[in-house]
Amino acid sequence: MKVGIIANPRKSGAEKTIRALCKALEKVKITPVLETVTADIIQSDGGQDAATFADTCDVVAVLGGDGTMLNAANQLGPANIPVAGINIGTLGFLTTCTDTELDVFADAVANKRYTLIKRMQLRAYVRSADGTEQSFRALNEITLARGQTGRLVSLDAWVDGELLNHYRADGLIVATTTGSTAYSLSAGGPLIAPNADVFVITPICPHSLSNRSLVVSDSSVVELAPAKDAECPMLFTVDGREVVEINQGSRICVEQAGHALPLLRLEGQTFYATLRQKLGWGQN
């Protein structure tokens, strides 16, 4: 059995955690396979591109936080390989365990004592006025928001070809159930259990208080575009990374990606337990 390892080089303690994880895996006769940048962190030769992990590894362990998990999901692409997040610090919404539980993790993988939770992803197409098209994949959300100006933007949204609303706001978020605990939540959107077959449209600081989040079926197609009276450019982002300038005449199409990310969950862990821990629920 082999476990691929992707680590965030900017995380304090990354080197120590990589070495400790390798030791824990080798103790249960699992071979660690380091991603290229991860290998560099511990000055090791033979690093491997993460895109090939699906062909060579049984599980991928991602060392960092939720942001590292988002970047790793992008690196792995549509590969159907179990992914486990090991948080260097406290437990995150996407992570399987913390860096104090490496032996527990290694033992669970060796004995296959875990479950897989399929996390839906989004595919977004940006079609420019000149006919060019770019494709992106998101685990958390896509966002269309104001650019360098401090003014509200005007944008239109459609669901399955029908006009939903004309928004005056700082922007609009289309988030998965995974993303419902991230930017969408900060913008006032609802928390959604990861096994719900939906995604959510959340306006960012809307001008009208009647503009609220809308939960739609994950079979829906959502389209966004600058309104006719919009002051462009706007900025389109995917999971907080790729930034594309959106001008008048451009259109964004968002739909389910067609493949989910299998997140590894250890026995005894639940989404609701993570909510209680992260949000302080149930504490007297």
pLDDT band at 284 (very low <50, low <70, confident <90, very high): low
Q: Is 141 annotated as a binding residue?
A: yes
Residues classed as catalytic: 66
Q: Is 239 annotated as a binding residue?
A: no
pLDDT tens by residue, 166-208: 999 999 999 999 999 999 999 999 999 999 999 999 999 999 9
**The predicted structure's pLDDT at residue 111:** 96
Q: Is 223 annotated as a binding residue?
A: no
Q: List, in order of start, the domains of the chain with CATH numbers.
A: 2-112 (3.40.50.10330), 122-258 (2.60.200.30)
pLDDT band at 12 (very low <50, low <70, confident <90, very high): confident
User: The pTM is what?
Assistant: 0.92
Q: Which region holds residue 183: left if phi is over 0, alpha if psi is between -120 and 50, else beta? A: alpha
Q: Is 210 annotated as a binding residue?
A: no
